[in-house]
Amino acid sequence: MQTQLSRRSLLKLTGLAGLGAAAAGCSSGPPSGAASWAMWSSSPAERKVWEDFSAYVERELKIKSVPNLTPSSGYPTKLDLQLVSGTASLVTALNGTLIPTYAARGAHRPLDDLITQDPDFDLGDFYQPIRTISTFNEQTYGIGFDVAPTVLYYNKTLLQKQGIALPSRTEPMTWAAFRDLAKELTRPPDQYGFSCAPAIDDLVSWIYCAGGNVMNADATRSALNAPEAMEAIQFVVDLFVKDKVTPPIANLVTESSLSNFLEGNVAFMQNGPWQVVNVRKAKFDWDIVPFPAGAAGSTPRVSGSSFAIPAKVRGDDLELAWKLLKTLTSKGALDIYARAGRNNPARLSAGSAFKPPPDNLGIVQDILAGKVAGGHPFDVTTNWNQVKQLLGQDLPRTFLGQVTVKEAIDGLTPRLDVLMEQHQDNIRQASARKG
């Protein structure tokens, strides 16, 4: 049977369909009364962990849990838009490097009042570095869920094949010893001694180990032109340009130390324990050791991530948000996270769940506890994105041998000083808001 549809009816139906589509497309944010939380997730394995978290939240809080998962590359942009439009989740995950950025702009609220009023919550069970990372302007803005120092991965199979003694689990190599070893293990184009990203995120570990920093102690001026920082940058650049112990850089955007290491022909890789879950896929034997020690010892970057509460969450929602945040960072939840091998949990009491392989995985907690080597919380500013952009523009050219370290640092120092002044302005504005 044929159905006749008049032009008028067709227009009406089209209009209704359009309205329906528009209504469906307009999000009014997470459902009211549900425990909504935002997190980055870029793989099915990661998604599984957060689904387990979600089930744990529902069991503990007896309410519906709504995890808003977004691939990590798009997470900050989506979070920004949700924060601005008032549709953000009750609790949002934040990478530690962005906590001062959001805190200084009033996007998230300080948690000190909630912590003080809650006798059940023990901030002392969290590693000190993640507490430092989650603090801005002397106020706590996040509760950590993971924290870890940068370590040195090594290809055990390759070292054993070359008859080289395996590096110590407890005693970090000196830079000189590391460089010699990297050179000895380099046989281009088939084999290389070392791989790291030609970017500030990796470079800071060397700078900290040399006793330097990106900015001075009160973050008022650039400190990259200080002798310690210059020495560190020159050392790493020499590994690339002079000693050529690293695989050739083909593209600055897609360069990945992990991919290089997983090829099986790179002896050492600088990375965090958050990559353990990926390196477990390697077809060779490997392990981790403390980061090579410079003049200031083995004090590489310590990074972490936290959960925080957006500033617009108030009233009953705030009470629920705090309960949710406590649950997401509880020992039970962090045990799930650590058991899945994602990263070292931020709570001391959950540490035992982050288990080998590799054999030396325990050094992560030993480093954080100050028993082995050391670490340096990642010092960032309230405009870290801008600082990273500036350093990301000029520093990689030194790794390519296009400019010398001195030329690059001399060129970027005045601009970095301007960014430090902006950072100070941001702090002043945040302090004024704090009253």
Partner 1 sequence: MAVDTLPATTAAAAPHQRPAGARKSRNREALTAWLFILPSLIGFLIFTAGPVLAAGVISLLNWNLFSSPTWAGLKNFARLGPDPTFWSALGNTAYFTFVSVPVTILVSLALALLLNEGVRRIAVFRSLLLLPYATITVAVAFVWIWLYIPHDGLVNAVLGLVGIDGPAWLISDGWAMPALIAMSVWKSFGFGMVVFLAGLQAIPQQLYEAAKVDGSNAVQTFRNVTLPMLSPALFFVVVTSIIGSFQVFDQALIMTNGGPGSRTTTLVMYIYRTGFENYDQGYAAAQSLVLFGFIVVITAAQFLLQRRLVHYDN
In which region does residue 35 sit, left (phi positive, over 0), alpha (psi from -120 to 50) or beta (all else)?
beta
Residue 431 near partner 1 by CB under 8 A: no
Residue 72 near partner 1 by CB under 8 A: no
Residue from 80, 122, 359, 421 binding partner 1 (CB under 8 A): 80
Residue 117 near partner 1 by CB under 8 A: no
Minimum CB separation of residue 402 from partner 1 in Å reads 6
Which regions of 71-203 does DSSP assign to beta strands (E)?
Answer: 91-95, 135-136, 139-140, 143-149, 151-155, 192-195
Residue 369 near partner 1 by CB under 8 A: no
Instruction: Please give the residues from 303 up to 332 whose contact with partner 1 meets the rule CB under 8 A.
Output: 311
Q: Which residue's CB is nearer to partner 1, number 101 or number 260?
A: 101
Residue 253 near partner 1 by CB under 8 A: yes
Residue 105 near partner 1 by CB under 8 A: yes
Q: Which residue's CB is nearer to partner 1, number 331 or number 397?
A: 397
Contacts of 195 (CB under 8 A, 6+ apart): 246, 247, 257, 260, 261, 266, 268, 269, 270
Residue 385 near partner 1 by CB under 8 A: yes
Contacts of 412 (CB under 8 A, 6+ apart): 222, 224, 390, 391, 394, 395
Q: Which string of x and - marks every residue 157-176 that binds partner 1 (by CB under 8 A)?
A: --------------------
Residue 396 near partner 1 by CB under 8 A: yes
Residues constituting the chain: 435
Residue 392 near partner 1 by CB under 8 A: yes
Rounded to whole angstroms, how far apart are CA atoms 327 and 304? 18
Q: Which of 394, 423, 24, 412 is nearest to 198 (CA)?
A: 394
Residue 263 near partner 1 by CB under 8 A: no
- The answer to whether residues 344 and 368 touch, using CB atoms and an 8 Å cutoff, is yes
Residue 393 near partner 1 by CB under 8 A: yes
Q: Which residue's CB is nearer to partner 1, number 174 or number 422?
A: 422
CB atoms closer than 10 angstroms to residue 26? 7
Q: Which residue's CB is nearer to partner 1, number 105 or number 244?
A: 105
Instruction: Please give the residues from 2 up to 31 whose contact with partner 1 meets the rule CB under 8 A.
Output: 11, 18
H or E element, residue 423: helix 405-434
Residue from 101, 134, 195, 344 binding partner 1 (CB under 8 A): 101
Tokens of 407: 């030329």
Instruction: Determine the number of helices (DSSP H) and then strands (DSSP E) in the chain.
Output: 18, 12
Minimum CB separation of residue 166 from partner 1 in Å reads 32
Residue 106 near partner 1 by CB under 8 A: yes
Burial tier of 79 (Cβ tally within 10 Å: 0-12, 13-18, 19+): buried
Residue from 69, 249, 258, 296 binding partner 1 (CB under 8 A): 249
**With b meaning 16 or more CB within 10 Å and e meaning fewer, what string describes 220-253?**
ebbbbbbebbbbbbbbbbebbbebebbbeeeeee
Residue 410 near partner 1 by CB under 8 A: no
Going from the C-alpha of 117 to that of each of 15, 315, 316, 322, the distances in angstroms are 53, 15, 15, 11
Residue 386 near partner 1 by CB under 8 A: yes
**With b meaning 16 or more CB within 10 Å and e meaning fewer, what string describes 395-407?**
bbbbbeeebebee
Rounded to whole angstroms, how far apart are CA atoms 70 and 268? 32
Residue 51 near partner 1 by CB under 8 A: no
What is 181-196 written as a DSSP string? HHHHT-BTTTBEEEE-
Residue 48 near partner 1 by CB under 8 A: no
Minimum CB separation of residue 252 from partner 1 in Å reads 5
Tokens of 112: 């000190």
Torsion of CA 421, 423, 427, 432, to 10 degrees: 60
Give the binding range for partner 1 (CB under 8 A) out of 39-47, 205-213, 245-253, 286-294: 245-253
Q: Which residue's CB is nearer to partner 1, number 116 or number 393?
A: 393
- Give the residues across from 108 on adjacent strands: 310
Minimum CB separation of residue 120 from partner 1 in Å reads 30
Residue from 183, 331, 339, 397 binding partner 1 (CB under 8 A): 397
Residue 137 near partner 1 by CB under 8 A: no
Q: Which residue's CB is nearer to partner 1, number 210 or number 408?
A: 408
Residue 407 near partner 1 by CB under 8 A: no
Contacts of 9 (CB under 8 A, 6+ apart): none
Residue from 71, 389, 406, 434 binding partner 1 (CB under 8 A): 389
List residues near partner 1 by CB under 8 A: 11, 18, 77, 80, 83-84, 101-102, 105-107, 189, 248-254, 311, 383, 385-386, 389, 392-394, 396-397, 400, 402, 433
